Structure formats: C-alpha cells, structure tokens
Amino acid sequence: MNVGDERSISYWMHESPVIDAPPLATDETCDVVVIGSGIAGLSTAYELSRFGRSVIVIDRGGIGNGMTARTTAHLATELDDFYSELIRVRGEDEARLYHDSQVAAVNRIEAICRDEGIDADFARLDGYLFPAEDSHKAELEEEYQACKTIGVDVDWADRAPVPGIDTGMALRFPNQGRFHPTKYLKGLANAILARGGRIYADTVHVSDQETDEGVEITTEAGPVIRAGAAVFCTNSPTNDKVAIHAKQTPDRTYVVAGPVPKGSVPDALVWDTYEAYHYVRIQPLGETEDLLIVGGADHRSGEAHDMDQRLDSLESWTRERYPSFTRATYRWSGQVMETMDFMPFSGRNPGSRNIYVHTGDSGMGITNGVAGSLTIMPLIIGEDSRFGPVLDPGRKSFTSTSSIGEFIREQAGSAKNYMEHITGGEIASADELEPGQGGLMRKGLSKIAVYKDETGAVVQRSAVCTHLGCIVHWNGFEKCWDCPCHGSQFAPDGQVLNGPAVQPLAEVEE
C-alpha cells in the first residue's frame, strides 16, 4: 500500500500504476537500489542506468502511484517561496545555483521526452506571478529585483492571463513548462527496464544496514537486496529517524480540476502571492476541451478538519477568475515536505557512506525531484556534483534569523503534539462515530485511533505514530491517519501509506 490507496483520485492516476510490476520474491544484488518510484526515484534510476549501473527500484505500493501522482505537475524555475527570501536565508551565490538546478531539471525532462520518445504532453510556456492583494505589489517589485540580481529570466507584464479579473502588473517568467507526470514516469520505467533495470511493486523497505560491501535493504516479506549504494526517494525518508526530519515539516495541499472549453483559459502557469498560494495550469484533453487544474489551501498535515470547505473555497476562487470553469470533476490532495531554507535535501545521508536521500521538495516536487537525480547520480559514480554542495542533506539550515524563527515556529507544532499523550480524546466511544469516520479516544493511559467503516465495523489501533511517537490525527477527506510531526500516513486499519514510519500502528490489547 501507498498513498495511491487514499480515497481521492487525481486526474493523473488514470495512468497509474504506470507499469505492472511484481513484488520482490527472492534476495537480489545490484549496484544501486532506489527506494521509491516517483519522479525522484525513477529519474535517479534512469540516470544511473544510462551510466551502466545495474539498478533495482522498489516501492511499497504501485509503481508511480505515490505523491508524484498527486501533484499538479508545474515545471517552474521560479521559486514558490521567492528568490528574495532564499537570498536572505542562503545568499546570492546559493540562490543562483539553486535556480540553475531548476532550469537544468526542466531542460532534462524535455531532453528525455525527446530522446526516449516519451509522449508526456510536454510544452514550454510562460509563468506569471500576480499580487493577490494590492498590498502585495511591493513583494513583486522586491522579487523582480532579486531575480535580476541572480540572473533569472523575468520581465513585467501588464496583467497575468486570468480571464475573469484584471490582476494588474504581474511578473512573467518565460520558458517554464508543464507535462503529464504519470505518462512521463511510465516512459522512465520502460527506459529503465530496457537497460536491464529491475522494478518491484508492493515491496516494503523495513530496515537498512551499511556493510563493508555497501548496503543491505531488508523488505517486509523477507527478501534482502544487497547493493553498492541505496537511494531513498520516499517523500519523507524512511531510513533515518531524526537527521533530516528535524529540518522539515509536512504540509497538505489541495487540488480541484474540471473541464473548460479549449482556448477559454490560456496555456500558462499562474501563481498568486498568498502564503498558501493558488497555482493554476491546464492539461489538454482533446480537440474541444482542456482540464483546468487549480491548487492551494495548504495547511500543516494533521492540523485541519475543514478539508471540504477548503476545496469549496478553491472552487469558488476558480469560478470567479475563470468563468468557463463550471464544475470540479476531480478533487484530490497531496503532501509536501517544507524545509527550513526552502531548498530540498539531495545527496549523501548525514553520517552514511553509501546511503543517499532526496526529500524536502517544498511545493516544487517535479523540478526538485529531477534536480535531485542530477545531484545524486554523479556522487554515486564518483564525479563532481555541481548542485551537491547547495542541496547537501547535511547542510546547516540556520543561516539567518528568519530561518531560525521559522524553525522554532514549526517545531512548536511537534512539541504541542507530544502533549496530546496526556490530553483527553475527541470521542468517548466508537458509538459517536458515523460510518466512514475516525476519531481519537482515550483508553486508560493510551490514545486510541478509532475508525468505523461503512458497514459499522470498528477498527481500533494505537494512535501513536511508529516513527517517533507523535499522535496521529484523522484525515476525513482522504480517510487515513496523518502524523502532524513528520508526515507519516496510515490506512484506517493502521497499515503504513507513507513514511517515514515503516511499521503499522500497533494493535490495541482488549
């Protein structure tokens, strides 16, 4: 199981799992094992296979059925947290190098589509950032100056291409892109297989150990993979308890999508300046229609219970600005890992010799995932990694007072969660739950995660996340348990859907 088994279905999931793959049945050996089959995992495996490395890819669920299938698949080189902020936190040189990594990622996707003959609806187009409120205009001017300082291609437009309103002056970023993510993953998977790579679905990593020869990966069913190196690309890393998790936090983001007459919405990327910003693109559907895709309404994972209202708000926002949009035929959500300094962690795992990790996509999962593959691959084959120093997972994230303040605010959420071990429950008994609902109940000294299925049957599991002991919260939209601390997700019966947890929620003794 993985997050593809949550309730909502994205438009991209019509193409997932992207290939049929068996579970791992016997012990195997390879040069590199990649854990995770999303954009970062398959991109890394692809790049290594091109250099003649024998590669194995495993995923706890269907191939390409994880968080990449829950994105909106913007290919943007503009930083959603703003380059002006990144310069304040990391300085001009690192901001410039990070931007180069994003340009390299979009260029690499375009090249792979061409070289491998992957029809993933790739297109180059403009991106526009417009002020959500008049008071935000100064932020755009500051971002314009920051972009010019580090060499980002940007200019001013009289307005963003939003048919229903006059946005006023907007920043235009040429040469951005969009594509169909799961069609692209399918192409990558087939290219890996054609080069002798091996791909296994429904194969759960439960432990890893570095040896003199490399790395041993033990799977839940028993088989062991022995490799020279391992790369963890699992959204939130499953190989390390603390090192990375203390430097990032999980956020939920929401998406609505519906058909519009072809040509009624310009083919462009659009963002506004709210902190939980709106982001917009289209996906071609055929000769007469496009799919308008709009995301936003983010919040800390596990800390909201108004998902339906957030999605309703997204629909209302969309109708006002895009009059040809009449109804949402898709509603889905995904999870992003937000780092303290806005950039992902891609490279050698802190304290490891042959274990590598990619995480911390911070709302730019597609470009960061590909940039991660371009960072990790040279490290493994012994070459210089241009983006390695700036994306190093072992880097110190606290280089400014703003990043320290952000860290303190985010970690306060985790501290508050641990206090829930001693607070009361949300319900006194399962009788208070409607079918299809979950809630927390106190049972003696323990917190219990209680779920009543559609037939009225009740499932009880410990509410203690098996990663680092936080209390999970019910996600009524996706019908799963979310951990607010580090992003683990569990099915109603306690099975793991998403790391960093690798063990299910514990059964409750009667």
Contact 499, 238 (CB under 8 A): yes
pLDDT (mean) for 360-378? 96
At 415 the pLDDT is 57
224 vs 414, which has greater pLDDT?
A: 224
229 vs 363, which has greater pLDDT?
A: 229
Q: Which residues are CB-neighbours of 107 under 8 A, at least 6 positions away?
A: none
Residues 217, 352 within the same domain? yes
At 405 the pLDDT is 54
Residues 259, 303 within the same domain? yes
In angstroms, rounded to a whole number, what is the distance separating the alpha carbons of residues 241 and 348? 15
Where do runs of H (alpha helix) occur along 77-119? 83-90, 92-116
At 412 the pLDDT is 52
Residues 224, 167 within the same domain? no
User: Is the pLDDT score of 271 beyond 70?
Assistant: yes
At 396 the pLDDT is 84
Residues 287, 240 within the same domain? no
User: Is the pLDDT score of 410 beyond 80?
Assistant: no
Residues 186, 170 within the same domain? no
In angstroms, rounded to a whole number, what is the distance separating the alpha carbons of residues 360 and 246? 11
Q: Which two tokens stand for residue 258?
A: 């519906």
Q: How many C-beta atoms surround the C-beta of residue 437 within 10 A? A: 17
In angstroms, rounded to a whole number, what is the distance separating the alpha carbons of residues 11 and 182? 10
Contact 345, 247 (CB under 8 A): yes
Residue type, 398: F
221 vs 362, which has greater pLDDT?
A: 221
Q: Which residues are CB-neighbours of 102 under 8 A, at least 6 positions away?
A: 76, 77, 79, 364, 367, 368, 371
Average the pLDDT over each of 21-25, 245-249, 289-293 and give the range with the smallest value: 245-249
Average the pLDDT over each of 202-211, 393-402, 456-465, 480-489 and give the range with the smallest value: 393-402
pLDDT (mean) for 54-70? 97
At 229 the pLDDT is 98
Residues 333, 351 within the same domain? no
Average pLDDT of the residues of the chain? 94
Residues 481, 492 within the same domain? yes
In angstroms, rounded to a whole number, what is the distance separating the alpha carbons of residues 445 and 488? 23
Q: How many C-beta atoms surround the C-beta of residue 25 within 10 A? A: 11
Task: Give residue 280's pLDDT band: very low, low, confident or very high (50, 70, 90).
Answer: very high
In angstroms, rounded to a whole number, what is the distance separating the alpha carbons of residues 381 and 357? 15
At 375 the pLDDT is 98
User: Is the pLDDT score of 54 beyond 80?
Assistant: yes
Backbone phi, then psi, for 261, in 5-degree steps?
-60, 135
DSSP string, 202-249: S--EEEEEE-SSSEEEEETTS-EEEEEEEEE-SSS-SS-SSTTGGGEE
Count of the separate structural domains present in the chain: 3
Task: Give residue 41's pLDDT band: very low, low, confident or very high (50, 70, 90).
Answer: very high
Contact 504, 466 (CB under 8 A): yes
Q: Which two tokens stand for residue 503?
A: 């063990």
Share of residues in the chain with pLDDT > 90 (%) = 90
Residues 193, 152 within the same domain? no
Task: Give residue 246's pLDDT band: very low, low, confident or very high (50, 70, 90).
Answer: confident
Residues 377, 470 within the same domain? no
Domain presence at residue 333: yes
Task: Give residue 424's pLDDT band: very low, low, confident or very high (50, 70, 90).
Answer: confident
Give me the sheet containing 437-443, strands edge to edge.
Answer: 437-443, 446-452, 458-462
Among 396, 411, 441, give the residue marking a domain's end. Answer: 396
pLDDT (mean) for 448-476? 96
Coarse DSSP helix, strand, coil percentages of the chain, rounded to the nearest 5 percent: 30, 30, 40
User: Is the pLDDT score of 394 beyond 60?
Assistant: yes
At 423 the pLDDT is 78
User: Is the pLDDT score of 411 beyond 70?
Assistant: no
What single DSSP character describes residue 286? S
User: Is the pLDDT score of 403 beyond 70?
Assistant: no
- pTM for the complete prediction? 0.94
User: Is the pLDDT score of 141 beyond 60?
Assistant: yes
Residues 56, 195 within the same domain? yes
CATH code for the domain in which residue 128 is found:
3.30.9.10
Range(s) of the domain holding residue 469: 420-498
Phi-psi region of 214 (alpha: psi -120 to 50; beta: other; left: phi over 0): left
pLDDT (mean) for 411-437? 78
Contact 59, 201 (CB under 8 A): yes
Residue type, 288: T
User: Is the pLDDT score of 1 beyond 60?
Assistant: yes
Burial class of residue 183, CB neighbours in 10 A (0-12, 13-18, 19+):
buried
Residues 141, 255 within the same domain? yes
Residues 138, 155 within the same domain? yes
